[in-house]
Structure 1
Amino acid sequence: MILEHADIHIDPQQAAAFEEAIERGARTVISAAKGFQGFKVNRSIETAGRYILTIYWDSLEDHTVGFRESAAFAEWRGIVGPFFKQPPVVEHMNLVCMG
């Protein structure tokens, strides 16, 4: 399993609308992608307007090729992209352990 972490910054005044949009986009667009296993969204306590989106993929290529190079990626960005103050910082991780 591959974990995609996206560090997202938005205008804190838009938090409610963003939270609705990111959940709707993940449930309706990303969840249909090949290799998608699940997602979670965390909101920072210390930094207003900062979120960490974690998406669980079967493989790196399911995200970087299968999803990112598809029309679904443009649809996803159309839903959440207008909220971004800057492009998200995305990093991929291998799951080592989980409790």
Structure 2
Amino acid sequence: MILEVAILNVKSDLTDEFEKSFSKAQKIISNMKGYISHKLKKCLETPNKYILLVNWETLEDHTIGFRESKEYQEWKELLHHFYDPFPTVEHYI
């Protein structure tokens, strides 16, 4: 199992809108091949900062299966405009 970790810095005036969009976007990711589970957590100290944790069966399920899919384009459209700066994503075993 691979753990994807992304620190999401959301534009401070858009956190409510981000959370609404994420509730739609999570339906996309949860239907992808190799997806196991995910959690989105909001930072207590920095209210516009989130951490996204996604468990995948393999690294390729995320980096190829998801990121190269048409579903990723919808994910991107729903979420990417909220970030500043764009998140760094890392993978853990």
Same fold (TM over 0.5): yes
Aligned to 1:89: 88
Choose 80-89 or 54-63, whichever is displaced more: 80-89
Distance apart, 1:48 and its partner CA: 2.7
More off after superposition, 50-59 vs 14-23 = 14-23
TM-score, structure 1 length as denominator? Answer: 0.88
Q: State the distance in 2 between where 1:64 and 1:86 align.
A: 20
Separation in 2, partners of 1:71, 1:36:
16
How far, CA to CA, are the matches of 1:70 and 1:86 in structure 2? 24
What amino acid sits opposite 1:21 in the alignment? S
SS at match of 1:78: helix
RMSD, matched Cα: 1.0
Residue 24 of structure 1 and its aligned partner are, at CA, apart by 1.4
Q: Which stretches in structure 1 are left out of the alignment for 5+ residues?
A: 95-99
1:42 aligns with 2:41: yes
**How many positions carry a matched residue from both structures?**
93
Distance in 1 (alpha carbons) for counterparts of 2:65 and 2:11: 30
Structure 2: where are the runs of 5+ without partners? none
CA distance in 1, matches of 2:20, 2:3: 22
d(CA) in 2 for partners of 1:9, 1:79: 15
User: Shift in Å at residue 75 of structure 1?
Assistant: 0.9
How many Å separate the matches in 1 of 2:23 and 2:76? 13
TM score, norm. by length of structure 2:
0.93
- Is 1:11 matched up with 2:11? yes
Q: Which runs of 4+ in 1 moved over 2 A?
A: none
